[in-house]
A and B are shown apart, each in its own frame.
Chain A
């Protein structure tokens, strides 16, 4: 899966338009980066990548690139 495809998945769960996210986008600058978004990310990581993310791990993500690193 390409990084573009992964970013598209993130844009989908954050309900952002395609192209809204870049790898260096800072998560806390996003209005859409809420606790509900975090839950959606947990589900996405589990269903698409078989990875169990915790709330603690999510709190440590600073940028989109940090999330992309987990998506493999």
Chain B
């Protein structure tokens, strides 16, 4: 897959899947605009990229009102977008009894509302090139339930549903929109999750359902690269499952 010359924006690029995706697609020739909150870790990602012309931008995506100016600035500096990958997200778990509206709103804001806002702004005239591919990082959580995950699962299901509509609406602009539906992947987010959920409980779930074992961030990065490339030009409005067999 060749992404030479393509300008790709990646959120959540300071760690985990976002970082791995950035590193991988830089090796495929893309020029990157990286977004995250953590400056130190974002700069660390920058040092690990191949190629030149990559830039970093600091923003808390909870502040969705800042997204439009950010997209405009990014396009003015580095040109229209060929791709957008939304990896920023949080996976906080809470029993339903504690899932109040404030918590649900915070989860939705980062995991879903910011994605919609990014796509809304990036799909405006002159901000994208024809053939652009926009991707949201979703999860098996969008299709399967579990205790304490009402909010998290809802945010991912919302993303999966939204891309179906976005794909239809943006097809005439030759923009494709998809999600990557990831299984359990070894990241800092996963480490925090097992800290609260309990490692043995999670391991039981993985060994019984995700029979190909624990996923790696590069498993997702490879899927992102494919969806960003012209090799996937016939794929839009779908959730691309990369889950080690979990949902089967």
Contact = CB atoms under 8 A, between A and B. Distances in A.
A36 B197 CA distance: 9
B77 interface: no
B201 A35 contact: yes
Given A35-B201, A36-B147, A36-B148, A42 B97 contact: no
Interface in A33-59: 35-36, 39-40, 42-44, 54-56
Interface in B198-217: 198, 201
A35 B198 contact: yes
Interface residues of B, number: 12
A54 B197 CA distance: 10
A19 B26 CA distance: 61
A13 interface: yes
- Chain A contact residues: helix, strand, loop or mixed: helix
Interface in B96-137: 97-98
B95 interface: yes
A54 B195 contact: yes
B198 A55 contact: yes
Nearest to A15: B97
Given A13-B97, A35-B201, A42 B148 contact: no
Contacts of A42: 196
B151 to A, nearest CB: 12
B94 interface: yes
Interface string B184-200: 00000000000111100
A1 B201 CA distance: 35
A56 B196 CA distance: 9
Interface in B153-203: 195-198, 201
A55 B196 contact: yes
A54 B193 CA distance: 11
Contact of A43 (B94, B197, B198, B201): B94
B97 A35 contact: no
A43 B98 contact: yes
A1 B232 CA distance: 60
Contacts of A13: 97-98
Nearest to A43: B98
Nearest to A56: B195
A15 B97 CA distance: 10
A40 B95 contact: yes
Interface in A16-39: 35-36, 39
B166 to A, nearest CB: 33
Nearest to A12: B97
A13 B147 CA distance: 16
B93 interface: yes
Interface of B: 93-95, 97-98, 147-148, 195-198, 201
11 contacts: A13-B97, A13-B98, A35-B147, A35-B198, A35-B201, A36-B147, A39-B148, A40-B95, A42-B196, A44-B98, A55-B198
